[in-house]
Amino acid sequence: MSRKPFIAGNWKMNKTISEGIALVDELKGLIGDVSNVDVAVCPTFVSVAKVGDAIKGSNIMLGGQDTFWQESGAWTRQIAPSMLKDAGCQWVIVGHSETRGRFGTVDAELESVLSYFGECDTTVNMKAKAAFAAGLTPIIACGELLAEREAGNTDKVIVSQMKADLAGFTKDQALKMVIAYEPVWAIGTGKVCDSDEADRVCGVIRNVVKEMYGDDVADAVRIQYGGSVKPSNAAELLSKPNIDGALVGGAALKASDFAAIIKAA
């Protein structure tokens, strides 16, 4: 099955509202003729509505960086899926390693506070279901720490995350969802997973989907790679059979670099 590539930019904690609008305005001019690749940007919560206004009518879609599993209530600092939908989002990232409290690099003095970021596979699953209920499509992220890889536990970690994160969806939902494999040790570190190994792990993910939802869903589901994706390595990564796109961090903050990755797809 031919799967349409999907390149999404996760801006993380970068870009003011005016900077974000300037970025997408430049990006629109660079990729206006691209129709065979799905493209999305995921700004900060304070920027999402204004950036959404700036990309209306273009071939760029809007996503949120996270959401909550409840629609309202006494949940200070949380953002409901319906709020993202109302702001113009079609997509939302759930389960990113940084919301799980799993970081590729962090200052040593901050190690003791990382648990305060943490969420678990149960909450990732709840968030993804809440996203679908609100009319959003989740990009469900997974990935292993360097210590887990060095211990030979990459596949064990990924399979465990995926079986929990992907549990209990309808077949229609499973066909629509996107999965992002992001080895934690490659996020924000400049290190990139070897393209053959990235493809192999994405194949492991596809096999989990096959076990849970069948061949047709496994053939249809799009799996992105994320982790220091840049113009110089995008074409090689995106040429692999199990890699259907990229979840891009740092390179998504520069319109020319992000456009180059999109065109590599």
Residue 217 lies in a domain: yes
Structure tokens at 97: 């390693």
pLDDT of residue 108: 65
Name beta bridge partners: 178.
139, 222
Which residue among 144, 148, 182, 211 is the active-site one? 182
Q: How many domains does the chain fold into?
A: 1
**Parent domain of 213:** 6-264
pLDDT of residue 102: 85
Residue 45 lies in a domain: yes
pLDDT of residue 114: 74
Are the beta carbons of 208 and 235 closer than 8 angstroms? Answer: no
pLDDT by 10s per residue, the chain, length 265: 589 999 999 999 999 999 999 999 999 999 999 999 999 999 999 999 999 999 999 999 999 999 999 999 999 999 999 999 999 999 999 999 999 988 877 666 677 777 677 899 999 999 999 999 999 999 999 999 988 999 999 999 999 999 999 999 999 999 999 999 999 988 877 777 999 999 999 999 999 999 999 999 999 999 999 998 999 999 999 999 999 999 999 999 999 999 999 999 9
How far is CA 61 from each of CA 144, 163, 224, rounded to the nearest angstrom? 28, 28, 16
pLDDT of residue 24: 98
d(CA 254, CA 106): 23
Q: Would residue 96 show up in a list of annotated catalytic residues for this protein?
A: yes
d(CA 254, CA 265): 17
d(CA 144, CA 160): 11
Residue 179 lies in a domain: yes
d(CA 183, CA 180): 10
pLDDT of residue 187: 82
Residue 221 lies in a domain: yes
Residue 148 lies in a domain: yes
Contacts of 106 (CB under 8 A, 6+ apart): 114
Which CATH number fits the domain that encloses residue 65?
A: 3.20.20.70
Which residue among 96, 98, 144, 148 is the active-site one? 96
pLDDT of residue 117: 76
Name beta bridge partners: 246.
7, 225
Residue 33 lies in a domain: yes
Residue 1 lies in a domain: no
Q: Would residue 71 show up in a list of annotated catalytic residues for this protein?
A: no
Are the beta carbons of 222 and 245 closer than 8 angstroms? Answer: yes
Residue 194 lies in a domain: yes
